[in-house]
Amino acid sequence: MANAIEVEGLRKRYGGLEVLDGVGFEVAEGEIFGLLGPNGAGKTTTVECLQGLRWADAGHLRVFGHDPRRDVRRVRGLVGSQLQESALPDRIKVWEALQLFATIEGTGRAWEPLLEEWGLAHRRNAAFGDLSGGQRQRLFIALALVGAPRLVVLDEMTTGLDPAARRDAWDLVAAVRERGTTVLLVTHFMDEAERLCDRVAVLRGGRIVGTGTPAELVRSTTSEVRVEFSAPSAFGLDFLTGIAGATTVTRRRTGVVVQGTGPLLARVGHALVERGLEPPDLRVSLPSLEDAYLRLTAPLDDPVSS
Ligand SMILES: Nc1ncnc2c1ncn2[C@@H]1O[C@H](COP(=O)(O)OP(=O)(O)OP(=O)(O)O)[C@@H](O)[C@H]1O
Ligand SMILES: [Mg+2]
């Protein structure tokens, strides 16, 4: 399949600060691709360089084969974006904003269904200044989709949305992709990335430190599982460190945590029962994208052990 996005050797400096130091990744057409990384890692800078909103200092950038530095009009015609820092005049009404954007994009009244889809039908006549934070966010996403773009860039789409609205947004993004639109999603929510993204890239200190499907990233960074249970404080834990595969044992406010590899749940359970403890909450958690992310983005002198 053709690439919607190609980035290679992308560099960007702000004054003396090197923010992007040779970023590279590709997004296939039709994919939902997640860009992850700590605050200040350069995610917004990357997606804005791709849209020709910021000037890349060096590197190969293509959006559906077009260079955003040379062909910015073509690129903007193909991309819809919900930017992290967006604003509209306070007095513009929801429907007016949608119609205005549709007029600019030349898509007539195709914006009408977006009101319903993004839960804004009841706020149709409300002024932008009177919308709640989450309603503004939904409006910005709807505006990104007004031009029926081939690529939609969503920078922290669900920040500020309530839990139900977040889930609705995930379903809608999945539906947008079903229609053939490629999605570039910047997010700090690992559950969102794990649920939605076909592939992700993790940006740290201006470089990509991991890329692949969420499952691949998890496999490549850790095979540790975590077994947890509650135990009375008088219950000695020393024997747990002798269990095959166990690497660390910690007592926390919420209970005991044993980390390690292999069939740890069965082994811990067996050892506990042998010592007369049958905790009803004995459970295992497999490594998640969040664990992989924390490992990939940990400061080099402070490796994350959990
Ligand atoms: N216009 C600018 N002038 C100077 N420095 C900037 C400018 N825009 C961003 N930066 C700096 O570049 C770095 C990357 O910023 P960017 O907004 O790309 O990060 P981000 O990964 O999107 O972070 P966040 O998760 O907080 O949104 C930060 O150190 C930021 O302070
Ligand atoms: Mg950002």
User: Which atom of ligand 1 lies closest to the CA of 48?
Assistant: 18
Domain identity same for 204 and 275: no
Domain identity same for 30 and 143: yes
CATH number at residue 190: 3.40.50.300
Domain identity same for 101 and 241: no
pTM reported for the whole predicted model: 0.87
Tell how far the Cα of 211 is from the centroid of ligand 1, in angstroms. Answer: 21
pLDDT for 84 equals: 65
* Per-residue pLDDT band at 261 (split at 50, 70, 90): very high
Domain identity same for 117 and 258: no
Q: Find the domain containing 97 and state its range.
A: 3-219
CATH number at residue 262: 3.30.70.980
Do the Cβ atoms of 155 and 189 come closer than 8 Å?
A: no
In a domain, 301, yes or no: no
User: Which atom of ligand 1 lies closest to the CA of 45?
Assistant: 18
- pLDDT by residue (tens digit) across 126-172? 999 999 888 888 898 899 999 889 999 999 888 888 898 888 889 88
pLDDT for 302 equals: 52
In a domain, 291, yes or no: no
- pLDDT by residue (tens digit) across 171-196? 889 988 998 999 999 999 999 999 99
In a domain, 300, yes or no: no
In a domain, 293, yes or no: no
Domain identity same for 34 and 113: yes
pLDDT of 305 over the 50 cut: no
199, 219, 239 - which closes a domain:
219
pLDDT of 37 over the 90 cut: yes
DSSP 127: B
Domain identity same for 205 and 269: no
* Per-residue pLDDT band at 303 (split at 50, 70, 90): very low
Ligand 1 residue neighbourhood (C-beta within 6 Å): 14, 19, 37, 39-45, 84
Domain identity same for 180 and 282: no
Ligand 1 pocket, mutate which of 23, 36, 45 (most atoms under 8 A from CB): 45
Domain identity same for 112 and 235: no
Q: How many domains does the chain have?
A: 2
What average pLDDT does the structure give for the chain?
A: 92
Domain identity same for 205 and 251: no
Phi, psi of 99, rounded to the nearest 5 degrees: -65, -40
Domain identity same for 46 and 141: yes
189, 219, 249 - which closes a domain:
219
Domain identity same for 208 and 228: no
In a domain, 296, yes or no: no
pLDDT of 1 over the 70 cut: no
Phi, psi of 64, rounded to the nearest 5 degrees: 50, 45
Long-range contacts from 58-61, C-beta under 8 angstroms, 24+ separation = 58/9, 58/10, 58/11, 59/7, 59/8, 59/9, 59/10, 59/11, 59/20, 59/22, 59/23, 59/24, 60/6, 60/7, 60/8, 60/9, 60/10, 61/6, 61/7, 61/10
Tell how far the Cα of 232 is from the centroid of ligand 1, in angstroms. Answer: 48
